[in-house]
Homo-oligomer: A and B are copies of this chain.
Amino acid sequence: MGYQETIPGVVRGEVTGTQCIRRSFAILRLLAGGDHDGEKLVDIAGALKLSHPTTHRILKALEQEGIVERAGGSQRYRLGAEAAWLGVGPFNRCPITRLSAIVLEDLAQATGDSIFLSVPSHNDAVYADRRLGNWPVQARGVHVGARRPMGVSVGGRVMLAHLGEARMKTVLAENADRFADWNCPMDQVLRGIEDTRAQGYLVDDSLTRQGRRAMAVPVRDVGGRAIGAISIIAPTARLGSDRVARLLPLLREGARRVGTALFEQRMAS
Stretch at the interface among A13-21, A152-160, A176-184, A236-244: A13-21
> CA of A188 to CA of B119 in the docked complex: distance in angstroms?
46
Shortest C-beta distance, A81 to chain B (Å), equals 6
Establish whether residues A21 and B61, one from each chain, have CB atoms under 8 Å apart when the complex forms: yes
Which of the residues B15, B17, B93, B128 comes within 8 Å of A85, measured between beta carbons? B128
Give how many copies assemble into the complex: 2
Binary B-proximity of A4-36 (CB < 8 A = 1, otherwise 0): 000000000101011011101100110010001
Q: Which residue in B61, B88, B122 is a CB contact (below 8 Å) of A128? A: B88
Expressed in whole angstroms, the minimum distance between the Cβ of A37 and any Cβ of chain B is 11
Q: Are B22 and A61 in contact (CB under 8 A)?
A: yes
Please list the residues of chain A having a beta carbon within 8 angstroms of any beta carbon in chain B: 13, 15, 17-18, 20-22, 24-25, 28-29, 32, 36, 57-58, 60-62, 64-67, 79-94, 97, 119, 121-122, 126, 128, 143-146
Give the complex CA separation of A82 and B121 in angstroms.
7
Give the chain B neighbours of A66 by CB distance below 8 A.
Answer: 121-122
The answer to whether A121 and B60 have CB atoms under 8 Å apart is no
Measured CA separation A85–B36 after assembly (Å): 15
Q: Which residues of the other chain, B, contact A60 by a CB distance below 8 angstroms?
A: 15, 18
- Indicate if the CB atoms of A13 and B119 lie closer than 8 Å: no
A57 neighbours in B (Cβ, 8 Å): 15, 17-18
| Contacts A66-B121, A84-B90 known; 20 new A-B pairs at CB < 8 A | A15-B60, A15-B64, A18-B57, A20-B20, A21-B58, A21-B61, A22-B61, A32-B86, A81-B121, A82-B121, A83-B86, A84-B87, A84-B91, A84-B128, A85-B145, A88-B145, A89-B143, A89-B145, A90-B145, A92-B145
How far is it, in angstroms, between the C-alpha of A58 and the C-alpha of B16 when the chains are bound? 10
Q: How far is the CB of A218 from chain B (nearest CB, A)?
A: 18
Question: Once the chains bind, are B17 and A18 in contact (CB under 8 Å)?
Answer: no
Cross-chain contact B121 with A61 (CB below 8 angstroms)? no
Known contacts A57-B17, A60-B18; A28 and B86 CB within 8 A of each other: yes
